[in-house]
Amino acid sequence: MSKPQLTLVLAAPRGFCAGVDRAIKIVEMSIEKWGAPIYVRHEIVHNKFVVDSLRAKGAVFVEELDEAPDDRPVIFSAHGVAKIVPAEAQRRNMIYVDATCPLVSKVHIEAERHHSNGLQMVMIGHAGHPETVGTMGQLPEGEVLLVETTEDVATLKPCDPARLAYITQTTLSVDDTKGIVAALKDRFPSIVGPNKEDICYATTNRQEAVKAIAPKVGAVLVIGAPNSSNSRRLVEVARSAGCDYAQLVGRANEIDWAALEGIDSVGVTAGASAPELLVDEVIDAFRDRYDVSVEMVETARENIEFKVPRVLRVAE
């Protein structure tokens, strides 16, 4: 029996960003340099496939520093950590390597600069996400006010409404964040913000690409993990760009084939922490069931690369 025809529309850019790539290299190079086990505080990036592969090479993932021994190197994840974490590692004389994405570190520096200029910080982010926890933890407890929605802006109680600055998590929805920033500026006209959005290039580019494919297809699959902020935003962006059926899938075996019945075009993208190998796996799963033609919609080209820390660059 002949297979039904289906067009897969691949969004580009998709998948790994420079920060994720660097964080994974840091773990691999640390294992090479110091041998296994290497401890990693929190999932190095939010992707089970990546974490499992690194675990197989000798990485041990822990949630808190006190779960790691003093005498093994520890790596801090790409999401960034509160200041108390490296301070504690130093106190314990541990070897540590910080895999915080340089674009997250840039936000940390902004927060400190505003704070030292006497401005109170407002952070637009998701409560409890490790990046938000890490960024808020650059300043003393209680110094950063968190807003998640435009409604939160109305209930903010700053010390001095005329002396405020805002920063954002790097993986937010570009469109939703614009609304929150507008509400902040409306209520606090003198609030100071970043010259350019804190939302990173990778988040912005992946959202633009999914926005371009969503109106053309009957369904969008976003390959990514449920705890990956940028992947979840891609699902929301696809829906608000006009595709009613947009779903997050960790791997090909999570695709709900029944839900795709009668659909002849499917958009595929991947969050910044999802490897291309998983995209290939999804394409192969479609090929098993359909007569597939593949199209690519490219909305930007990326050539950003971040260096690994010096301690891993110098051969010893």
Active site residues: 131
Closest CA to 223 of 197, 255, 201: 255
Distance separating alpha carbons of residues 104 and 138, to the nearest angstrom: 11
Which of residues 18 and 279 has its CB atom nearest to ligand SF4 in the complex? 18
Could you tell me the smallest distance in angstroms from the CB atom of residue 18 to ligand SF4? 5
The pair of three-digit structure tokens given for residue 216, joined into one six-digit string: 């053309």
User: Which residue among 77, 173, 205, 230 contacts ligand SF4 (CB under 6 A)?
Assistant: 230
Decide if residue 269 touches ligand SF4 (CB under 6 A): no
For ligand SF4 (CB under 6 A), the number of binding residues is: 15
DSSP-assigned letters across all residues of 1-63: -PPPEEEEEEEES-S--HHHHHHHHHHHHHHHHH-S-EEEES-SSS-HHHHHHHHHHTEEEES
User: Which residue among 51, 85, 103, 234 contacts ligand SF4 (CB under 6 A)?
Assistant: 103
- Largest pairwise CA distance in the chain: 71
Decide if residue 170 touches ligand SF4 (CB under 6 A): yes
| Secondary-structure breakdown of the chain: helix, strand, coil percentages, each rounded to the nearest 5 | 40, 20, 40
Could you tell me the smallest distance in angstroms from the CB atom of residue 19 to ligand SF4? 2
Which of residues 173 and 230 has its CB atom nearest to ligand SF4 in the complex? 230
Collect all residues with Cβ–Cβ distance below 8 Å to 142 and sequence separation of at least 6. Answer: none
Distance separating alpha carbons of residues 154 and 187, to the nearest angstrom: 8
Which of residues 202 and 217 has its CB atom nearest to ligand SF4 in the complex? 202
Distance separating alpha carbons of residues 147 and 150, to the nearest angstrom: 8
Decide if residue 18 touches ligand SF4 (CB under 6 A): yes
Q: Which helix (H) or strand (E) holds 247?
A: strand 246-249
Decide if residue 125 touches ligand SF4 (CB under 6 A): no
Quote the distance between the C-alpha of residue 14 and its chain's center.
12
- Binding segment toward ligand SF4, per CB under 6 A, in 2-10, 58-66, 86-94, 198-206: 198-206
Residue with the shortest CB distance to ligand SF4? 19
307 close to 50: Cβ distance less than 8 angstroms: no
73-92 positions binding ligand SF4, by CB under 6 A: 78
- Binding segment toward ligand SF4, per CB under 6 A, in 14-22, 63-71, 216-224, 280-288: 14-22
Decide if residue 200 touches ligand SF4 (CB under 6 A): yes
Which of residues 104 and 119 has its CB atom nearest to ligand SF4 in the complex? 104
Residues found near ligand SF4 in the complex (CB under 6 A): 17-20, 78, 101, 103-104, 170-171, 200, 202-203, 230, 272
